[in-house]
A = this chain, B = another copy of it.
Amino acid sequence: MKLNDKGLLVVLSGPSGVGKGTVRKALFDMPDQNFVYSVSMTTRKMRPGEVDGKDYYFVSREEFEKRIEDGKFLEHAEFVGNYYGTPLDEVNKQLDNGKEVILEIEVEGALQVRDKVKDAVFIFLVPPSKEALYNRLKRRGTESEEVIQERIAKANREFKLAYKYDYIVVNDEVNNAADRIMAIIRAEHAKTWRSIHKYEELLDMKDDKNKGDNK
């Protein structure tokens, strides 16, 4: 039964400062999981110690743009002059192998995925309170009040998109949040439309064992 199970594409997103990265790490540390990252593609220069195909796929700007045109990205964005994107074929390969692919991405990128992968699961992380988020954003570094205010404004805009996600998970404590996400993944696998193909044999019970009994 397990062999037929396709993996889930889980898109983990939420406003700046909510702790997406920490929750993703906690998920990968859980026992009995089957998670993989998707290696992103970028046009930025390789840094010392980075490995092509492991940290990123490093490609030229021309190649990246060609791939955008060909629809080969699940999502992509430009950031300080460089492209970053998630290659669609990479993700599909992992899903076909039964792996759960966790994409931890920004709110806008996540909504691009929504349009491309109808059966992905979209999770929006929220902080337990406004104050918790403010404190996280302030604690992060040595930024000026202006930068902090910009981040708060950005988080506000991102919150407005929560309704487009399938699930809302509170990051009150990182392991609680990871537990909730594990429950969501288990539940999604049990959804009838995802799993009914596995029970074909049961649904056809009549056709062998009972043959002849009902005329």
Contacts and interface: CB of A to CB of B under 8 A. Distances in A.
B180 A190 contact: yes
A203 interface: yes
A67 interface: no
A134 interface: yes
A166 interface: yes
A165 B190 contact: no
Interface stretch (A33-41, A96-104, A154-162): A154-162
Contact size class for A? 35 or more
Contact of A130 (B183, B196, B205, B214): B205
Given A162-B196, A199-B126, A205-B155, A190 B213 contact: no
B152 A168 contact: no
B165 A209 contact: no
B134 A202 contact: no
A188 interface: yes
Contact of A183 (B124, B187, B206): B187
